[in-house]
Amino acid sequence: MQNKVVVITGATSGIGKALAYEFAGRGAKVVMGARTHGKLVEIAEDIKHKGGDVAYAQTDVTKEEDCKNLILTAIDVFGKIDILINNAGISMRALLEDVSIRVLKQLMDVNFWGTVYCTKYALAHILKEKGSIVAVSSIGGLIGLPGRTGYSASKFAINGFMESLRTENLNKNLHVLMAFPGFTTSNIRNTALSADGSPQGESPREEEKMMTAEQVAREIYSAISKRKNKLVLTTLGKSMVLVNKYFPAWLSKRVFKTMAKEPGSPFR
C-alpha cells in the first residue's frame, strides 16, 4: 500500500478510525471523512506525528456536496484515489410497528446514499488507477435482523449496488469488495437510533467479547491487498451465513430468541 491514496468515510470512530491508522501505518496516504471536525483534526495530527500522510474533510455523507468535496480533497491534496472505503454507517433498534418513518429514511440516507454519493464521485478516479471500492456492510446485510429493519434494508441495498457496480466494470479491472463484519467493538450500538430517532445510549451487548475494530481493519486491509470480492468475519458470522443457506427457518427462530434476550429488547 506504499503511496496508495485511501479515502475512508466514518473515519473518526470504530472500524473507520482503525482503518485510518492501519493504512497510514502501512505507508498509504489517508483521506478521512467524518462529521466531527475536532475529531478529524485530533486523529490527523496523531497520524502525522507517527509519520503518516493524511488529509481530511468534514463530511456528512447524507449530503451529496460533502461527499463530492471529500473526493475533491483527495484529488487536490494527493492527485489521485486508489481506494475508497465506504464505512460510515448508523444502526437502529426498534420494531417496525413502533419506529418513525424518518428513522428508516435516515438509515438509508447514511448507509445507502452515503455509499452511492461517494462512489459516484470517486469512480472515475479509481478506474484510472485500477483501484478498489469497498463497502463495510454487516452480517445484518446478509441476514435480516429483527428490530433492525432499516439497518438490514440499507445494507442489503448496498449489496445490490456494489454487485452491480462490479459487473458493470468487469472489463476495467475495478476491484469491488463487500466486507461483512460480525459483532464488532465500536460505538455503533451506543449511537443506534431508537423508535423516535434518539440515540439508544448504552450498548445492549457484551462489547468486550466481540472482535475489535483493529482486528477488523487488519482483515479488511488484507482482503483489499488480495483483491477479494467478499469478506465475512467472525466464526459466528460465518456460521450464521452457512446455516441460513440450508436452514433459514431454524436460524430465524434462533436469532429471534437470542436478540430477544438483549437488555431493553423491543420484542419478546
String of DSSP letters for 158-184? HHHHHHHHHHHTGGGT-EEEEEE--SB
Separation of alpha carbons 71 and 76, rounded Å: 9
21 is catalytic: no
Total residue length of the chain: 268
Give the containing element (helix H, strand E) for 225: helix 213-225
206-225 as b/e, with b when 16 or more CB fall inside 10 Å? ebeebbbbbbbbebbbebbe
Q: Where would I find the H helices in 33-172?
A: 37-49, 64-78, 101-107, 114-129, 149-168
Separation of alpha carbons 56 and 192, rounded Å: 25
User: Of 117, 151, 221, 246, which residue is the catalytic one?
Assistant: 151
| Residue 39: count of CB within 10 angstroms of its CB | 17
Contact, 15 vs 137, CB < 8 A?
no
Contact, 217 vs 136, CB < 8 A?
no
Give rounded-to-5 percent helix, strand, coil for the chain. Answer: 50, 15, 35
* Interstrand relation of 5-9 and 83-86 (parallel, antiparallel or unpaired): parallel
CA angle 227, 150, 239 (to 5 degrees): 50
Residues recognised as catalytic: 151
